[in-house]
Amino acid sequence: MLKLKKYGKKILLAILVILLCISSAISITLLGKTKNNGVVFASEPEQKKAVIYKTTGLTTSNTESLSTEVALTRGGAELEDGGIVYEGEYIKYNFRLTNKTQANIDNVKIVASIPDGVKYGELNSNFEEFRQSYFYNFDEELTEKTIEVGTIEAGQSKEIFYEVKVKDLPEGETEKEIVANVNSYIGEELAQSYQLRNVINSADTQLFLGSFTQYGGKQYGLNIKSDTQEEVEVKIHFPQNFKLSFITYMVDEFEDIDRFDSQIDGGKIVYTNVEGQERKEYTIEDLKEMLGEEDFNKLQELEKIEGIEDVKEVEGLRLKDILEMINNTNTLGEVVISEDNILTAKLKTNHCYRFLGVLDASKISGTSENSKEYVTAYAETSDSVYMSNENRIEAAYKNIEVTMISNNAGKKVKYNEDI
C-alpha cells in the first residue's frame, strides 16, 4: 500500500508544477550558465528596454581606433550619470566597444574601480541543473575589476558588463556620493577614461527577483524586505513569453534577500489560474487529463488510505482537497496583469512570493535550430522608486520542422500556375 507520508506536504506544489508542464504544448528547455564577465544579456525583442550608450563622464580619449560607450542601468531603468540609487539596488555598468579600423584590435580590456559604498557581485545560477538556486556571489574586498575583452574584429563591436550592489549606509547617514573610474585599454595604451558619479540614498524597501526551472515549468520568486512597511504594492515586469498560472506565498521569512531557492516547504497558494483577467475552474476530469493516467492513479491510491501515521507531519491530501485549494484560494486581493505582462499586486514584506508559470513557445523569436534567447525581468515598487536586480536567464529551444507537400508534387508546373 502506498504510504501517504511518502508524498507528504510537498505533493500539492509538485502537482501544480506538473500541471503547468503538461499544459505547455511545446517543450522548452533552459540551458547554459549565466555569463558573468563576457557577454551582455540583452532582452528578447518584445521586452527589450532601451539601453542608451553614451559618453557622459568621458574625461580622456587617446585613440580614434577604439570607441568605448557606456550605459548605467538599475533593474529596468536607465541610471543617469549623477543619478540617485538606493540601498540594496544593483547598478549594471554596460559597455559597447567598437573597432573603428579595418584591422583586428587585440588585447582590449576594461579596468574599473569599485567605489566605497558598493560591492562587486556575480550572478550564480546554472540552468542546466534541475531547480538550481538563483543567487549572487559578492566580493566585498574587491576595489578594482579587470575584464579581458580580447580581440575585436575590424568594424565589429562587443558588449560587456559588470554589476555591483549598493551597500546599506552607515547608521545616521542619509546619502553618499560614489565615483567609479572606468578605463578601456588596447594593450597598455589608454583608449578612453570615464568618471561616473552617483548618489546613494537610504531606502525603506528592497527587492530581489530570482528564478529557476522545474518539470519544464518556470518559477520567479520575489523577496521583499522592509523595516517600516508591512506590505508594499509592486510591479513585476515579466517576459512576454511567460504565462503566469499560480502565485504562492512562502510562510517562512527568507534568510538572505539576494538568494532565491528551490525549496518549496512552508508555502501556501494565494492566487490561482491567472489567465489574463479570467479564472478557470479545474475539475476532477481536468486533473485526470493534465496529470496523465499514472499520476492520477497514484492520487486515487491516496484517496483509499484511511490512517495517517503522523498527523502533525502529514496533511490528508485528497483529490477534492487539491481542487478546493486550486479553485478557492484567491486570498491575495486584487491582481492586475497588463497587456505588457506587468503584474501589479500588494504583497507582504519580509517574505518571498513565488510566481509559477510556463514559457510560451509561440512568443520566442528564435530563427535557427538550437537558437538561444536572453530573457530578462525585473520588479519595482508601484511608484517606481525602488528597483530590484535585473533577473536574466538563458533560454534555448529547438525549432519545429514543418514539411508541406503540394498536390502538384512530381508534376510539371507552368509559370503563374497555382500550386
Q: How far apart are CA 328 and CA 164, in angstroms?
A: 42
Domain limits for position 251: 4-30+204-396
φ, ψ of residue 296 in degrees (nearest 5) = -65, -40
Instruction: Give 398's DSSP letter.
Output: P
Query: Is the pLDDT confidence value at 90 over 90?
Result: yes
Q: Note the pLDDT tens digit of each residue in 14-42.
A: 555 555 444 433 233 333 333 333 222 23
Residue whose C-alpha is closest to residue 217's, from 258, 264, 251, 249 = 264
Instruction: Give 382's DSSP letter.
Output: T
Pair (238, 149) in one structural domain: no
Residue whose C-alpha is closest to residue 211's, from 145, 259, 147 = 259
Query: Where are the alpha helices (H) located in 175-306, listed in sequence order?
Result: 284-291, 293-304
Residue 259 lies in a domain: yes
Q: How many CB atoms lie within 10 A of CB 255?
A: 7
Q: What is the pLDDT of residue 303?
A: 63
Q: pLDDT band for position 265 (50/70/90)?
A: low
Q: How far apart are CA 352 and CA 221, in angstroms?
A: 6
Q: How many CB atoms lie within 10 A of CB 252?
A: 11
Pair (362, 214) in one structural domain: yes
Residue bearing the bigger pLDDT, 368 or 184: 184
Pair (52, 114) in one structural domain: yes
Instruction: Give 297's DSSP letter.
Output: H
Pair (78, 124) in one structural domain: yes
Question: Which neighbouring-strand residues pair with 58?
Answer: 194
Q: Are strands 189-201 and 84-86 parallel, antiparallel or unpaired?
A: parallel
Domain boundary among 144, 172, 201: 201
Residue 35 lies in a domain: no
Pair (141, 277) in one structural domain: no
Instruction: Give 7's DSSP letter.
Output: T
Side-chain-side CA neighbours of 240 within 13 Å: the count stands at 15
Distance of CA 95 to the CA centre of its chain: 21
Residue whose C-alpha is closest to residue 381's, from 282, 237, 254, 245 = 237
Task: Report the SS3 class of residue 181.
Answer: strand
φ, ψ of residue 6 in degrees (nearest 5) = -65, -30
Pair (50, 124) in one structural domain: yes
Residue 419 lies in a domain: no
Q: What is the pLDDT of residue 241?
A: 83
Q: How many domains does the structure of the chain reveal?
A: 2
Q: What is the pLDDT of residue 344?
A: 94
The answer to which of 8-12, 260-264, 296-300, 315-319 has the lowest mean pLDDT is 8-12
Residue 405 lies in a domain: no
Task: Report the SS3 class of residue 377.
Answer: strand
Pair (88, 154) in one structural domain: yes
- Burial of residue 148, with CB atoms counted within 10 A of its CB: 0-12 exposed, 13-18 middle, 19 or more buried: exposed
Q: Note the pLDDT tens digit of each residue in 94-115.
A: 999 999 999 999 999 999 999 9
Among residues of the chain, what percentage have pLDDT more than 70?
A: 65
Domain boundary among 168, 201, 234: 201
pTM of the model: 0.76
Secondary structure element (H or E) that encloses residue 327, with its range: helix 319-327
Pair (196, 208) in one structural domain: no
Question: Which neighbouring-strand residues pair with 99?
Answer: 66
Residue 68 lies in a domain: yes
- Cell reading at 23: 499544459
Pair (341, 291) in one structural domain: yes
Angle (CA) 22-264-340 rounded to 5° is 60
Residue 61 lies in a domain: yes
Pair (63, 96) in one structural domain: yes
Q: What is the pLDDT of residue 200?
A: 97
All residues at 6 or more sequence positions from 311 whose CB lies less than 8 Å from its CB, including other chains: none
What is the torsional sign of CA 274, 280, 281, 282?
Answer: negative
Q: How far apart are CA 45 and CA 374, in angstroms?
A: 10
Pair (90, 18) in one structural domain: no
Query: Is the pLDDT confidence value at 279 over 80?
Result: no
Pair (354, 279) in one structural domain: yes
Residue 408 lies in a domain: no
φ, ψ of residue 366 in degrees (nearest 5) = -65, 150
Domain boundary among 173, 201, 229: 201
| Greatest Cα pair distance in the chain | 86
CATH of the domain at 170: 2.70.50.30
Task: State the angle between helix axes of 284-291 and 11-23 in degrees (0 to 180), rounded to the nearest 10.
Answer: 70
Task: State the angle between helix axes of 284-291 and 293-304 in degrees (0 to 180), rounded to the nearest 10.
Answer: 130
Residue 328 lies in a domain: yes
